């Protein structure tokens, strides 16, 4: 199956932060992303979430990811926030509640083909007893 998606990743860069370290946080989870720097913010775009999906499988947090994705789905789009420090360390940690003082990494995924549910099943498949269902 070929998926047609647009992924937009934004992250604030506070005055106390090093821009390259925030860029590294994005690249650690989205190695395919192209990053542009703007005053106080990084904006990255990609058309793949394969690296992110691999991390979800490695960390065995597929159910958590599915919950975050479906909780913030509107039409053919879903979004979620990630903790910046965890991303810098190469780990996925979904941000919930109030944002952190340095700001979170915001990810917005628009699925063109085939549909949001199928794409989420692809990157974070349903599980049974913690294992992906084939």
Per-residue confidence (pLDDT) for residue 129, from 0 to 100: 78
Chain centroid offset of residue 100 CA: 16
**Domains by residue range for the chain, with CATH:** 4-132 (3.30.1440.10)
pLDDT tens figures, 92-121 = 999 987 767 778 999 999 999 989 999 999
pLDDT tens figures, 10-57 = 999 999 999 999 999 999 999 999 999 999 999 999 999 999 999 999
Per-residue confidence (pLDDT) for residue 128, from 0 to 100: 85
pTM here is 0.93
In which region does residue 118 sit, left (phi positive, over 0), alpha (psi from -120 to 50) or beta (all else)?
alpha
Structure-block tokens of residue 23? 């860029």
């Amino acid at each position: 199956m070929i998926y047609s998606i647009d992924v937009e990743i934004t992250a604030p860069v506070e005055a106390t932060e090093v821009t390259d370290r925030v860029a590294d946080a994005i690249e650690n989870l989205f190695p395919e992303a192209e990053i542009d720097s703007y005053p106080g913010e990084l904006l990255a775009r990609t058309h793949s979430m394969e690296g992110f999906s691999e991390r979800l499988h490695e960390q065995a947090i597929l159910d958590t990811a599915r919950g975050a994705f479906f909780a913030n789905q509107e039409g053919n789009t879903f979004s979620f926030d990630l903790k910046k420090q965890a991303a810098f360390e190469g780990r996925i940690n979904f941000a919930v509640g109030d944002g952190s003082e340095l700001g979170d990494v915001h990810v917005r995924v628009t699925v063109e083909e085939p549909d949001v549910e199928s794409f989420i099943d692809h990157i974070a498949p349903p599980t049974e007893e913690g294992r992906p269902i084939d």
